[in-house]
Amino acid sequence: MINTPILVLGAGPTGLMLSAQLHRYGAPHVIVDRKPGVTDVSKALAVQARTLEQYHQLGIAETAIEDGFMAASARFIINGRVRATAQFGEIGAGLSPYPFLFILEQSRNEALLLDHITSRGGSVQWSTEVADLQRNSEGYAGTLKRPDGTSEPFRCRYLVGCGGASSPVRHFLNMPFRGATNEQSFFVADINLDLDLEKHGLLLVFNHSDFFAFFPMPGRNHYRAIGVLPPSIANPDDFPFDLLKAHIEENLGLPAKITHHSWYSAYRVHHRIADSFRAEDAFLVGDAAHIHSPAGGQGMNTGLGDAVNLGWKLAGVVNGWASPGLLNSYSEERRPFGVRLVHTTDRAFTMLVSISPIAQFIRTHILPYWLSMVLRFHKTRRLMFKTISQTVIDYRKSSLSDGSGSRSIRSGDRFPWFEWDGGNSFEWLTDAGYIVLRFDGAEACDVPGWTGPVTTIEVAGKSAVAAAKAGLPNRGVVVVRPDMHVAHILAG
Ligand SMILES: Cc1cc2nc3c(=O)[nH]c(=O)nc-3n(C[C@H](O)[C@H](O)[C@H](O)COP(=O)(O)OP(=O)(O)OC[C@H]3O[C@@H](n4cnc5c(N)ncnc54)[C@H](O)[C@@H]3O)c2cc1C
């Protein structure tokens, strides 16, 4: 019998990040997945700046950066010609230590997180399926089933569903997953494409009836292609690659040859969100809680962000330094962002794939030129970075946020990144637990509602000047939550 305070069901990127967070605080838990190991297919590609900031806190951002690459630009091919180029470069300069659009495929993200867990003495129980879930007075119980036919009962106080879109925990909880499924089917394929165009950045291909996107992947001529599945493919669940190859080569509008493919799949795009991300002592995290179109590369990143939000709270409760009431803030803080995301990505995706004449006109005559033009201006570059990088998610309306602070930085905001000669603000945030920043020798302050590991840092000199420029008080105390959001600001 396995008896654990926390059972994490699912070791995709979300479950692995949750386990990494729990290890950060030494919170005992068991994580299981029915797969034999981390995924070996690419799936999500975009890693947003906020995720890299969270990786930095775990000490794995540099490895991620070495493994992946920046998407510096997007070229638009319309009816067979490159008509416009949007330059991204360091689009979020000054806003984040990772001010670029970054590509690192999901399998590499999962491997990175697993290595981190292993380095902390942890492990995942692979090839282990959770079944027969039940609720009892002490928490939850069920069975872990292994491929050799053996099974083992388990009990846990907290159950965390990181099992993806078809989440067994969500089904067990009978939690409504409202939304819809897009009528069209889409394909995704990792291919080698011989193309008479230099390989850099994204290639977005629009013609009157079709849309393809090609994301550069490591290796010569290696791309991830996505697009709408053509009507010639009647059965999305089972079709030969040759049909897809012919469709891409014929409709790209440029002389092109697919010389190799390593993976391809068809899928329906859903946009759905769970009514709540928590029911009693069970939680829904990642795709189990929200699914949406891949437009904007947000799916995996949002799951990772959910896990960062829940991890320290669960660890605090299990380790005894936080009251169980803290767990209410998980759904309260993360669901509003999920709702917004499901709506915005759905609208963006509909525009990209709609066959209406207006949408076709926007795709072929407006969007590429507009995007390449607005990305020349500092303000719109920053706005675009903020919109997709997940660095402006705030928890101002959370019950944990007390309204303290100024108009520019308030309780619940992401702690800002800023630099000074010889340092930067995120160097303060690497210790596990709350960080108390004391500016100009201010007295320590007592903030109701938080306890646990605390690191106190005296801020003075150049760093204090940089902090004031970034909107923080130049006297007083700033308390930062373990997930790098502001808990409290006491101006001196
Ligand atoms: C073809 C495809 C392409 C995609 N492309 C993109 C993209 O370009 N950009 C983007 O942001 N997102 C993309 N996504 C979405 C992205 O992959 C997901 O958002 C991400 O995988 C969610 O992570 P997760 O950990 O929440 O769920 P998952 O990755 O689905 O992981 C869930 C895990 O739970 C395990 N599990 C389920 N049931 C059980 C059980 N009963 N017992 C034990 N284990 C169980 C599964 O084996 C799995 O490993 C794509 C997804 C697919 C399928």
For the chain, give the mean pLDDT.
Answer: 92
> For atom 13 of ligand 1, which residue has the closest CA?
44
> For atom 4 of ligand 1, which residue has the closest CA?
43
Q: Separation of 300 CA from ligand 1 center, angstroms?
A: 8
| Tens of pLDDT, residues 124-138 | 999 999 999 999 999
Q: Separation of 292 CA from ligand 1 center, angstroms?
A: 12
Checking if the pLDDT of 222 tops 80, the result is yes
Checking if the pLDDT of 448 tops 60, the result is no
The pLDDT of residue 20 is 98
Checking if the pLDDT of 467 tops 90, the result is yes
- How confident is the model over 266-285, as a mean pLDDT? 95
Give the pLDDT band of residue 449 (cuts 50, 70, 90).
low
Checking if the pLDDT of 248 tops 70, the result is yes
Q: Identify the CA nearest to 194 among candidates 254, 116, 124.
A: 254
| Tens of pLDDT, residues 319-366 | 999 999 999 999 999 999 999 999 888 788 777 777 788 888 888 888
Q: Is 307 in the pocket of ligand 1 (CB under 6 A)?
A: no
Which atom of ligand 1 is nearest to 215's Cα?
8
Give the pLDDT band of residue 447 (cuts 50, 70, 90).
low
Which atom of ligand 1 is nearest to 286's Cα?
26
> For atom 51 of ligand 1, which residue has the closest CA?
43
Give the pLDDT band of residue 61 (cuts 50, 70, 90).
very high
46 CB neighbour count, 10 Å cutoff: 23
Tokens 């690192």 map to which residue? Answer: 104
| Tens of pLDDT, residues 23-40 | 999 999 999 999 999 998
Give the pLDDT band of residue 446 (cuts 50, 70, 90).
low
- How confident is the model over 86-102, as a mean pLDDT? 95
Give the pLDDT band of residue 289 (cuts 50, 70, 90).
very high
Report domain 2-67+100-178+272-349's class: alpha beta
Q: Where are the domains of the chain?
A: 2-67+100-178+272-349, 180-270, 419-491
d(CA 287, CA 181) in angstroms, rounded, equals 14
Q: Is 142 in the pocket of ligand 1 (CB under 6 A)?
A: no
**CATH superfamily of the domain spanning 180-270:** D-Amino Acid Oxidase, subunit A, domain 2 (3.30.9.10)
Which of 300, 341, 390, when mutated, tests ligand 1's pocket best, judged by the most ligand atoms within 8 Å of its CB?
A: 300
Q: Is 296 in the pocket of ligand 1 (CB under 6 A)?
A: no
Q: Is 164 in the pocket of ligand 1 (CB under 6 A)?
A: yes
Checking if the pLDDT of 280 tops 90, the result is yes
| Tens of pLDDT, residues 358-415 | 888 888 888 888 888 888 888 999 999 999 999 999 999 999 999 999 888 999 999 9
Q: What percent of the chain has pLDDT over 70?
A: 98
> For atom 14 of ligand 1, which residue has the closest CA?
44
Q: Is 391 in the pocket of ligand 1 (CB under 6 A)?
A: no
The pLDDT of residue 311 is 98
**Residues 185, 229: contact at Cβ < 8 Å?**
yes
Among 48-52, 206-210, 267-271, 389-393, which is the least confidently predicted range?
Answer: 206-210
**The 3-state secondary structure of the chain, one letter per residue:** CEEEEEEEECCCHHHHHHHHHHHHCCCCCEEECCCCCCCCCCCCCEECHHHHHHHHHHCCHHHHHHHCEECCEEEEEECCEEEEEEECCCCCCCCCCCCCCEECCHHHHHHHHHHHHHHCCCCCECCCEEEEEEEECCEEEEEEECCCCCEEEEEEEEEEECCCCCCHHHHHHCCCEEEEEEEEEEEEEEEEEEECCCCCCEEEEECCCCEEEEEECCCCCEEEEEEECCCCCCCCCCCCHHHHHHHHHHHCCCCEEEEEEEEEEEEEEEEEEECCCEECCEEECHHHCEECCCCCCCHHHHHHHHHHHHHHHHHHHHHCCCCHHHHHHHHHHHHHHHHHHHHHHHHHHHHHHCCCHHHHHHHHHHHHHHHHHHCCCHHHHHHHHHHHHCCCCCCCCCCCCCCCECCCCECCCECCCCEECCEEHHHHHCCCCEEEEEECCCCCCCCCCCCCCEEEEEECCHHHHHHHHCCCCCCEEEEECCCCEEEEEEEC
Q: Is 286 in the pocket of ligand 1 (CB under 6 A)?
A: yes
Give the pLDDT band of residue 197 (cuts 50, 70, 90).
confident
Give the pLDDT band of residue 431 (cuts 50, 70, 90).
very high
d(CA 75, CA 83) in angstroms, rounded, equals 8
Q: Separation of 13 CA from ligand 1 center, angstroms?
A: 7
Q: Is 185 in the pocket of ligand 1 (CB under 6 A)?
A: no
Q: Is 402 in the pocket of ligand 1 (CB under 6 A)?
A: no
Q: Is 297 in the pocket of ligand 1 (CB under 6 A)?
A: yes
> For atom 39 of ligand 1, which residue has the closest CA?
163
Q: Is 44 in the pocket of ligand 1 (CB under 6 A)?
A: yes
Q: Separation of 165 CA from ligand 1 center, angstroms?
A: 7
